[in-house]
């Protein structure tokens, strides 16, 4: 069995779960094994059909009032009970903040290995082992890791790495309720209150249009111009690590190996050279435009459209033309 932990919050699935269910279906086909999705929470039954439509053969629903809000101790214990009972061959989790907390704790309890932040997952046709590929040595090398002696073979994958499969409303699957034994004695954490942080278009990994700036932008003010372009296009701004380290843009808007993986319809890279660690986070974008004064910048090699020039001249002209179109 290929198992996927699908995180939800307030009754809504995180998209990484759907992406992983899609990938798990491919792995399941190669292994001739079913795909089981696991969801934890309270009052979450309505999510099961969505997971089945996206490729799950079975959905295990774990409902408990103590799982309503996320608690790392209780979620770890509940998931551990499910895994011990089901004994999957493979277990996939999203490399979200929550997944990054749960996965190593589970791996330690299960006495198995964990390959974090995978960029590809495949089944070895001969050994039937899961081949877990991820960047190593600052992204200069891709390492393929196997876990031959322990089960489950565990991997985390960042959101946006795999596409969300097209849902099929005709698909049928089994829905199973699983009772876990958890109590407040299982946790040292005491949840006082949950305050939702409302921040408009904060998650760049969901954006359809991204205007990203790099060191070439030169200042925080420069990013205001990029913001203007992004707003006119109905998109959002992001940046390279150099831009983040200069304090020109927030850390949660960094694209790349140590930032977020994005695959928007349009990615405009402005003053970004295209280092391998940056490309790792955006190269699957549908259409890439690069604006750079250096025609030999590596970003030009993967761009669908390259504009060679000073962004201070190119971007204001773009803004002016777009304003004319929208006025």
Q: How far is the CB of 256 from ligand FAD (least distance, A)?
A: 2
Q: Is 241 annotated as a binding residue?
A: yes
Given a contact cutoff of 8 angstroms between Cβ atoms, the answer to whether 177 and 38 are in contact is no
Nearer to ligand FAD, 266 or 282 (CB): 282
Cis peptide upstream of residue 308 (ω within 30 degrees of 0): no
The 3-state DSSP class for residue 59 equals: strand
CA distance 226 to 304: 20
Is 275 a known ligand-binding residue? yes
Shortest separation between residue 232's beta carbon and ligand FAD, angstroms: 19
CB of 120 to ligand FAD, least distance (A): 18
CB of 216 to ligand FAD, least distance (A): 2
CB of 230 to ligand FAD, least distance (A): 17
Residues 229 and 268 sit within 8 Å (Cβ to Cβ)? yes
Burial (CB count within 10 angstroms: exposed 0-12, middle 13-18, buried 19+), residue 105 = middle
Rounded Cα–Cα distance for residues 208 and 194 (Å): 29
Q: Is 237 annotated as a binding residue?
A: no
Nearer to ligand FAD, 137 or 200 (CB): 137
Would the annotation count 272 as a binding residue? yes
**E strand or H helix at 90, and its extent?**
strand 90-94
Which CA distances in Å does 106 have to 24, 40, 77, 110? Answer: 19, 15, 8, 6
Alpha helix locations (H) across the chain? 15-31, 48-53, 72-86, 97-110, 220-233, 241-245, 276-279, 299-302, 311-326
Q: Which two tokens stand for residue 123?
A: 């089944």
- Least CB distance to ligand FAD at residue 261 (A): 9
215 is in an annotated binding site: yes
Q: Which is nearer to ligand FAD, 162 or 311 (CB)?
A: 311
- The residue among 41 and 281 lying less far from ligand FAD, judged by its C-beta, is 281
Degrees to nearest 5, angle at CA 271 with 267 and 272: 65
Q: Footprint of ligand FAD on this chain (CB under 6 A)?
A: 138, 214-216, 240-243, 254-259, 271-273, 275, 277-278, 281, 291-294, 297, 310-312
Phi/psi for 284 (5° steps) reads: -90, 10
Separation CA 227–CA 230 (nearest Å): 5
Query: Nearest approach, Cβ of 310 to ligand FAD (angstroms)?
Result: 4
The CA distance from 291 to 299, in Å, is 9
* 271 marked as binding residue: yes
Distance CA 21, CA 37 (A): 7
Q: Is 292 marked within a binding site?
A: yes
The verdict on whether residue 278 carries a ligand-binding annotation is yes
Residue among 25 and 225 whose Cβ is closer to ligand FAD: 225
Decide whether 237 or 272 has the Cβ nearer to ligand FAD: 272
Task: Tell me: is residue 254 an annotated ligand-binding position.
Answer: yes
Give the residue with the Cβ less far from ligand FAD, 54 or 278. 278
**Residues contributing to the annotated binding site for FAD:** 215, 240-241, 254-258, 271-278, 292
**Residues contributing to the annotated binding site:** 215, 240-241, 254-258, 271-278, 292
């Amino acid at each position: 069995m290929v198992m996927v932990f699908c995180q939800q919050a307030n009754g809504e699935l995180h998209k990484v779960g759907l992406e992983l269910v899609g990938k798990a279906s491919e792995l399941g086909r190669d292994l001739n094994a079913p795909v089981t999705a696991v969801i934890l929470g309270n009052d979450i039954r309505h999510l099961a059909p969505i997971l089945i439509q996206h490729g799950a053969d079975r959905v295990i629903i774990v409902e408990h009032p103590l799982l309503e809000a996320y608690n790392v101790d209780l979620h770890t214990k509940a998931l551990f009970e499910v895994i011990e009972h089901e004994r999957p061959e493979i277990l996939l989790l999203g490399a979200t903040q929550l997944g990054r907390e749960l996965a190593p704790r589970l791996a330690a309890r299960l006495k198995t290995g964990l390959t974090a932040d995978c960029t590809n997952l495949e089944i070895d046709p001969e050994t039937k082992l899961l081949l877990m590929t991820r960047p190593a040595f600052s992204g200069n090398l891709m390492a393929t890791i196997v876990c031959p002696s322990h089960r489950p073979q565990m991997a985390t994958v960042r959101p946006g790495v795999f596409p969300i499969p097209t849902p099929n409303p005709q698909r049928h699957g089994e829905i199973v309720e699983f009772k876990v034994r958890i109590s407040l004695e299982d946790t040292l954490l005491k949840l006082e209150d949950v305050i939702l942080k409302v921040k408009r278009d904060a998650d760049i990994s969901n954006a359809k249009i991204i205007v990203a700036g790099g060191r070439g932008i030169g200042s925080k003010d420069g990013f205001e111009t990029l913001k203007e372009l992004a707003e006119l296009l109905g998109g959002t701004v992001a940046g390279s690590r150099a831009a983040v380290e200069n304090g020109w843009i927030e850390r949660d808007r960094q694209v790349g190996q140590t930032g977020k993986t994005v695959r928007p319809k349009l990615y405009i890279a402005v003053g970004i050279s295209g280092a391998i660690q940056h490309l790792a986070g955006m190269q699957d974008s549908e259409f890439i435009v690069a604006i750079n004064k250096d025609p030999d910048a590596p970003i030009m090699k993967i761009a669908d459209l390259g504009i060679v020039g000073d962004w201070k001249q190119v971007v204001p002209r773009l803004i002016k033309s777009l304003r004319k179109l929208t006025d």
